[in-house]
Structure 1
Amino acid sequence: MTSKNTAPAGENTVKTLLILGASGDLTGRLLLPGLARLLASGRAKGLKLVGAGSTDWTATQWSERVHGAFAEAAKGADAEGKAALAAMEKDTAYHGLDVTADGALAELLAGLEAPVAVYFALPPHVSQKACEALDREQLPAGTRLVLEKPFASGTDSARDLNKTLLGLVPEDHIHRVDHFLGKATVLNILGLRFANRFLEPVWNREHIEKVEIIFDEDLALEGRAGYYDGAGALRDMIQSHLLHIMALLAIDAPATIGERDLRDAISTVLRASSIPAPFKTSTRRARYSAGSIGGREIPDYTAEEGVDPERNTETLAEVQVAINTWRWKGVPFILRSGKALGVKRKEALVTFRPVPHLPEGFRGVDSPNQLRIGFGPDTLQFDVDVNGPGDIFTLDRATLQAELNASELLPYGEVLEGVISGDPLLSVRGDTAEECWRIVEPVLAAWAKGSVPLGKYDAGSTGPDDWPTAVGH
C-alpha cells in the first residue's frame, strides 16, 4: 500500500514552494533572492510560490516583496529567465494564518498543487508546534518538510522533533538545511581531500598538528536580537554549521559522494567527537562592547534593542573538539565564530607538524606548512618553504594559491534546488542533528553556571586581549 505522502515515480519534482514565515526577515533577505537566482538560471521551471504567515499582509504587500527580491536577478537574466521570474511574480499568493492552529495549515496545503515543499522560515519552537498540528493523512502526496538550523534547541527537543517529522514524512523527505554548506563548498572540500594522492597519506595525527575552523564576522547584531540573544555564537554557528565543516575535513573516504555514503561518513565522525573537560581550558566565550567597524559606530551589545544583559549571551565562542578515532586522536579541532570583529575571516586552517630535522646550513623561515581553505569565496592557499631568492641557503615562505569552483547560485538557491529536485545531499540527517547538540550541550550547561568567564572585546577588534592564539595553548 502506497502512503498518501509518497509521490508516484516520476513525480518527485516539487510543484509548489510554500514558505511559512513569508513576511519575516529570512524570507525577504535570503530565501526569495536565492529563489530568484535559481529561477533565472532555468532550474526551477513551472514552480509555484505561495507565502503564508501570521502577519496580515495584503496581496499588494506580498507582490511588492517578491518583486523587490527578484529585481536583482532579473537584471542579469536572459529572456527565458526574465519570463520565469515574471511568471512567478504574477502567479504568487500570500495567506495570513496561524500555522500552529489545528487544521489551518492542512487546509492551505489541501488546495496546493503537489508535491509541495513546506519551508519553515520560523523560530524552531514555532516550527515544532506547526508540525505537531499536522497529520500524515493531511499532507499532499510527496510533501517535503524544510527546516532551518539550528534544528530544535537541544538533544531532547531535536529527538522529539525528529519523531514528529518522521510521523509525517519519510526521512528522505525531510530537509534540515544548512545554507552555510553550499554544494560547491562541499564538493571542493571532498575533491581536495580525496582526489590528491599526495595529501591523503599525511591527512592524519602523524602529520597534522591542529585544524582551525574560523567564521569571524564584521557584522554586529543587525536587528536580530529576537533570535540571537537567545542563541549566541555557540548555538548559532558552531553547533549549526562549523561542526559539519569539521566532519567533512575529518571523514574517511566514502565509497561514493551519494547522500547515504557521505552522510554515513559525517555521522561517524560526529559520534566520535566531544569537547573535553575541563571546559575552562577547552572553551572560551566573550561579548562585544562598543567600538567601530569600517567607520560605523557599534553600540555595546547589551545596549542593543531587544537584548537582555542578564542572559550573558556570548557573541564570540571558541571550542576545542577532540575526535576519538585512530586517524585523529590527539589532534585538536578548534572551532571559532564571532560577531563585530575587525577582520572578516571565513576559513579552515590546517597546520602541519614541523619537519623532524632541518639540515644545518639553512637559514630563515622554519615554520610548519599550512593549508588554508577559504569559504565565500572558496579559495585554496598552501604555504611552503622554498629557497631564495638571493641567498639560496635562506628559506623563505611562498604561498601557492588557487580559486576553487564557485556556484552561480546563492547559498539559498543551492538549498532550494536540492529541495525541489529531492536531493538531500546538502540536508542534515536526523541522527547528525542530534549529535551536534550532544557535543555542545555540556558546554552550554557549564557556561550557564558561570564555570567559564564571559570575556569582553571592543567591536572592531580581533577579540579579547588576553585570549592566546589557540584554545589550550
Structure 2
Amino acid sequence: MLVLGASGDLTGRLLLPGVGRLIAAGRAPRLELVGAGSDDWTAERWRQRLDDSFAGADEGSTAEGSTAEGSAELARVKDASTYHRLDVTAPGELGRLLKTLQAPVAVYFALPPAVSQAACEALTAGDLPEGTRLVMEKPFGSGAESAARLNATLAGLVPEDHIHRVDHFLGKSTVFNIVGLRFANRLLEPLWNAEHIAKVEIIFDEDLTLENRARYYDHAGAGRDMIQSHLLQIMAIIAMEAPASLDERDVRDGIAAVLRASSIDNHFARSTRRARYTAGAIGDRPVPDYTAEAGVDPANNTETLAEVEIRVKNWRWAGVPFLLRSGKALGRNRKEAVITYKPVPHLPDGFRGVDAPTRLHIGFGPENLTLDLDVNGPGNLFELDRVRLETELASDPLLPYGEVLDSVLAGDPLLSVRADTAEECWRIVEPAFAAWRAGTVPLEEYAAGSDGPADWRSSRPRSAGDKQRADG
C-alpha cells in the first residue's frame, strides 16, 4: 500500500489507525506500507507517526490474529516501512516510485480532490504495476464536471473494478446492518414505503470543531464534507429496492437507481438550511467563533451545519421527505437514521396521553437499533406511555477505515462508490450549493455547544410541493 499525502492530517488521524487495526487482526498478511508526501520527513519522523497511529491497534485483534501475532506483524510492517518526499503532480515522479514497488499495489490518494486529479493526470497506464488498485478519498472531485473528468482519467489507467472511491461511512457494518434489517424482516419491509412512512432523517451531528483542518474544511463545509458523499450514500441504501444478492453489482445498481431518482426542490430557501457556529463551549471546553479559527477565511461563508431535503421520485417514496443533516461543534454526538411512521388512521376514543409517532432509530456509532412505541401505561390502562425497545447491531472491531481497506486489499469493490453514483451525488447537490454561494439561502448562526439555531428545532424547511399541497 502506497499512501500519498502520508504526512497529512487524514493519514495520521484516520487512515493509519485503520491500517493498524487491520494488521493486528491478521487481515492484511504480508502488507508492505510505503508513505509519500510533500513534507521533508526523516525516517525517524515517519516511524514516530506509525508508532502514534498504531498505538492501541492490538486491542482490535480478534481470533483471526492473536495479540502476540498481531504485535509482531505491526512491528514488521513498521520496521520495513519507508517514506519518500514526492511531488505527485510532477511528470514522472510518482511513476518512478511505483515501478520500484512489488505488485500488486494499492495507491491511496489521501489528498485534496484537485491534487488527486493532477496526480492521476501525471500518470500513464504503463507507470502502474500489474493489478494496481487506485483508492480515491472523498470528496470525489469538486463538482459534477470535475468528477466526470476524474472518472475519465481513472478509466484510462485501470479497470473500474480496480478503482475504490472510499467513503469510510460505508463500512461493512453500516451497509449490511441496514440491508439485513430491511430485507430479512417481513415485519418491516411491507411498511417501508410512502404509504406508511412520514419522513426519513439521516443525521450526523458531532461535537468536534474544526480540529486544525481549515485548509480542507473551509473550502468544503458541511455540505460537501458530509451530505454530498456520506449521507446521500446512506440514504440510497435505506431507500433502495431489494437486491437479488449481496454481489457488488446488485447492491450498487440499487444505490444508483435511488440516486438517479433523487433531487432537491429548487426553492432552496425552503428545501435547504445552513448555519455556522459562533463562540461557545462544549462541556468545559471553550470554543472560539468559527471565523476566528486558525486558517479560516470569513469571506468563504463556510457553513458548519447544513440540512437538505431530498425527494426520491419513484413509486415507493413519492412524497416522503428525506432530511439529511450534518454539523460540527454541536452539544452532542448524534449519528443515526430516524424513520418516522405516519400516525394511525384512528385512535379509539377513551385513550389518554400523547399519541407520538412510531420511530425506528438506526445508530451508526455505536451501531444499535431503537424502536419507539406507544403502549398502555403502568397503573392506568387508558393512559398511553412511551417505551423504547433497544438492541445492539453487529459491528466489526476494525475502525471504519479498516473495514473499507479490508475490501480494497481483497479486491472487493462492494463498499466503493461507483463512477456513475459519484457523479449523481454531485448532480443532486450542486444547484443547492450554487444557491448558497449566491446568498439565496441565509447563513444562520448557532453557539458552539448548542443544538443548532433555535428556530431549527421548531420548524423544518418546506419544499414548493409541500406548499402547493397545503394551499390545495
User: After superposition, where does 1:380-391 map in structure 2 within 5 Å?
Assistant: 380-391=369-380
Determine the structure 2 residue equivalent to 1:298: 287
Residue 165 (str. 1) matches residue 149 (str. 2): no
Residue 133 (str. 1) matches residue 122 (str. 2): yes
User: What is the CA-CA distance between 1:470 and the residue it aligns to?
Assistant: 2.8
Query: Residue 97 of structure 1: which of 86, 91, 95 is its match?
Result: 86
Query: Residue 409 of structure 1: which of 398, 401, 406 is its match?
Result: 398
User: After superposition, where does 1:49-448 map in structure 2 within 5 Å?
Assistant: 49-74=33-58, 78-448=67-437
- Alignment partners' CA distance in 2, 1:27 and 1:228: 16
Aligned partner letter, 2:16:
L
Between the two proteins, what is the percent identity of the paired residues? 68
- Alignment partners' CA distance in 2, 1:75 and 1:310: 44
- Alignment partners' CA distance in 2, 1:41 and 1:455: 45
Task: Tell me the TM-score normalised to structure 1 length.
Answer: 0.95
- Alignment partners' CA distance in 2, 1:469 and 1:266: 30
Q: Is the 8 A contact 1:189 1:249 kept in 2?
A: yes
User: What is the CA-CA distance between 1:469 and the residue it aligns to?
Assistant: 4.0
Task: Tell me the TM-score normalised to structure 2 length.
Answer: 0.95
Determine the structure 1 residue equivalent to 2:22: 38
Aligned partner letter, 1:309:
P
Residue 471 (str. 1) matches residue 435 (str. 2): no
- Alignment partners' CA distance in 2, 1:33 and 1:388: 48
- Alignment partners' CA distance in 2, 1:396 and 1:71: 47
User: What is the CA-CA distance between 1:465 and the residue it aligns to?
Assistant: 1.5
Determine the structure 1 residue equivalent to 2:11: 27
Q: Which shifted more, 61-70 or 33-42?
A: 61-70
RMSD: 1.0
User: What is the CA-CA distance between 1:134 and the residue it aligns to?
Assistant: 0.3
- Alignment partners' CA distance in 2, 1:452 and 1:60: 49
Q: Secondary structure at the match of 1:333?
A: strand
Determine the structure 2 residue equivalent to 1:18: 2
Q: Which shifted more, 90-99 or 159-168?
A: 90-99
User: What is the CA-CA distance between 1:312 and the residue it aligns to?
Assistant: 0.7
Q: Is the 8 A contact 1:274 1:321 kept in 2?
A: yes
Q: List gaps (5 residues or longer) in structure 2.
A: 62-66, 467-472
Determine the structure 1 residue equivalent to 2:470: none
User: What is the CA-CA distance between 1:319 and the residue it aligns to?
Assistant: 0.5
Determine the structure 2 residue equivalent to 1:8: none
- Alignment partners' CA distance in 1, 2:449 and 2:19: 33
Aligned partner letter, 1:440:
V
User: What is the CA-CA distance between 1:31 and the residue it aligns to?
Assistant: 1.1
Runs of 4+ in 1 over 4 A off after TM superposition: none
Q: Secondary structure at the match of 1:313?
A: coil
Q: Report the CA distance shift for 1:76/1:409 in structure 2 as closer, same or farther (over 3 A).
A: closer
User: What is the CA-CA distance between 1:219 and the residue it aligns to?
Assistant: 0.9
Aligned partner letter, 1:114:
A
Q: Is the 8 A contact 1:20 1:119 kept in 2?
A: yes
Q: Is the 8 A contact 1:334 1:471 kept in 2?
A: no
Q: Is the 8 A contact 2:4 2:35 kept in 1?
A: yes
User: What is the CA-CA distance between 1:408 and the residue it aligns to?
Assistant: 0.9
Q: List gaps (5 residues or longer) in structure 1.
A: 1-16
Aligned residues: 457
User: What is the CA-CA distance between 1:66 and the residue it aligns to?
Assistant: 1.0
Q: Is the 8 A contact 1:213 1:336 kept in 2?
A: yes
- Alignment partners' CA distance in 2, 1:267 and 1:76: 33
Deviations 1:319-373 (A, max 9, x none): 0000000000100000000111112111111100000001112111212100011
Aligned partner letter, 1:46:
R
- Alignment partners' CA distance in 2, 1:71 and 1:316: 32
User: What is the CA-CA distance between 1:309 and the residue it aligns to?
Assistant: 0.7
Q: Is the 8 A contact 2:352 2:383 kept in 1?
A: yes
Q: Secondary structure at the match of 1:210?
A: strand
User: What is the CA-CA distance between 1:225 and the residue it aligns to?
Assistant: 0.6
Q: Is the 8 A contact 1:207 1:353 kept in 2?
A: yes
User: What is the CA-CA distance between 1:295 and the residue it aligns to?
Assistant: 0.8
- Alignment partners' CA distance in 1, 2:315 and 2:298: 43
- Alignment partners' CA distance in 2, 1:448 and 1:71: 42
- Alignment partners' CA distance in 2, 1:75 and 1:175: 27
Deviations 1:365-417 (A, max 9, x none): 21210001111111100011111211112111111101000111001111111
Q: Secondary structure at the match of 2:103?
A: coil
- Alignment partners' CA distance in 1, 2:75 and 2:161: 32
Q: Is the 8 A contact 1:22 1:51 kept in 2?
A: yes
Q: Is the 8 A contact 2:193 2:317 kept in 1?
A: yes
- Alignment partners' CA distance in 2, 1:463 and 1:265: 34
Aligned partner letter, 1:359:
P
Aligned partner letter, 1:156:
E
Determine the structure 2 residue equivalent to 1:7: none
Aligned partner letter, 1:69:
S
Q: Secondary structure at the match of 1:392?
A: strand
Determine the structure 2 residue equivalent to 1:458: 447
- Alignment partners' CA distance in 2, 1:147 and 1:295: 37
